[in-house]
Amino acid sequence: MPIPVIIDCDPGHDDVFALWLAAGHPALDLVAVTTVGGNVPLEHTTRNARIALSVAGVTGVPVAAGAARPLVRPLQTAEWIHGENGLGGPELPEPTVPLDPRSATELIADALTASAEPVAIIATGPITNVAILLRDRPELAGRIREIVWMGGSTERGNATPYAEFNALVDPEALDLVVRSGVRFTMVGLNVTHLALVTSGVREQIASLGTATADFGAELFDFFCRMNDEVFGMPDGPLHDPVAVAVLADPGCVEVRRTRLDVELLGIETAGATSVDLDGMLGREPNAWVAVGLDVDRFWAGVAASVARLA
Ligand code: RIB
Ligand code: CA
């Protein structure tokens, strides 16, 4: 029985592949998409999510816009990696997928209420929308199967020396979600940096010969070029679909039960994710954290899912 999932995202090149993996994988049933300000402002992330589904021929999945900014901090964006419109590279078509008039919170609440079984939420941007839902609709927490989030790191950051971008943008939202008691899995840079878009991966996707794959190949061109310029990583790490793989193919991502705390007060360390893998602090474990990836199995799953789309 496919797992019903909601993708909350900030497209962003890698978010697009997360949407495609969720939409194309037989183990998942994508029931809703919500967007958040993150890589680029909300108007762009929302349009980009609609474009991603339109290009892939995905219909009947509502897309609603959520928070334009974090809970308490000003929005920080990442045009320096994703371009001004958030999907630098290909010429962007007009989306055929409509914008749902509900807010992200309303759409998530409706999807949770309508589902016969608990729904998983996969967040691949700043986790503001999920925090707002849990803060404003606490009675729905029991309808959430689990939350899987791409963000954080067991090691260093990518937006500051100690903070990964999604965590840095809204650490208060992350702290609220981790404390909520809903099963939470963090998929951090320590693992997503293994999901590298190598020349072999680019060939694997390009050889599919579909409209979706062709669009994805153009996204790869830009994403890899920018990762090379900014981080010296010509094989750009495709972060977000790894979070989807946790549910689509659990054997693909190794996770460990551990203690996760979020730095909120640090001047230089705000947004840092303190992952106590060795139990040094003696605190109660409160999260699952990804610690390994079967890289070939992961890319095989991405390619097979993209191949099922338009
Ligand atoms: O740090 C990587 C994360 O930040 C990814 O989700 C990327 O899309 C950006 O949102
Ligand atoms: Ca993202």
What CATH number is given to the structural domain containing 192? 3.90.245.10
Q: Angle, nearest 10°, between helix axes 13-24 and 211-231?
A: 140
Phi-psi region of 232 (alpha: psi -120 to 50; beta: other; left: phi over 0): left
Alpha helices in 137-210, H assignment, sequence order: 165-169, 171-179, 189-192, 199-206
Q: What pLDDT is attached to residue 38?
A: 98
**77 CA from centroid of ligand 2 (Å):** 11
What's residue 127's pLDDT? 99
Tokens of 61: 């999945």
This prediction has a pTM of 0.98
Question: How far is C-alpha 173 from the geometric centre of its chain's CA atoms?
Answer: 15
Nearest-atom index, ligand 1, CA of 150: 6
Domain range for residue 230? 3-307
The pLDDT of residue 35 is 99
Residue 80 CA from chain centroid, whole number: 18
How many angstroms separate the CA atoms of 159 and 132, rounded?
Answer: 24
Which regions of the chain are under pLDDT 50? Answer: none
> Which of 7, 9, 14, 45 for a ligand 1 pocket mutation test, highest count of atoms within 8 Å of Cβ?
14
Residue 159 CA: nearest ligand 1 atom is 1
Residues acting as catalytic residues = 239
Q: What is the pLDDT of residue 146?
A: 98
Q: Which residues lie with the beta carbon below 6 Å from any ligand 1 atom?
A: 10, 12, 14-15, 38-39, 124-125, 150, 158, 164-166, 239-240
- Amino acid 26: pLDDT: 98
SS3 at position 139: helix
Segment 229-261, tens digit of pLDDT: 999 999 999 999 999 999 999 999 999 999 999
Domains in the chain, number: 1
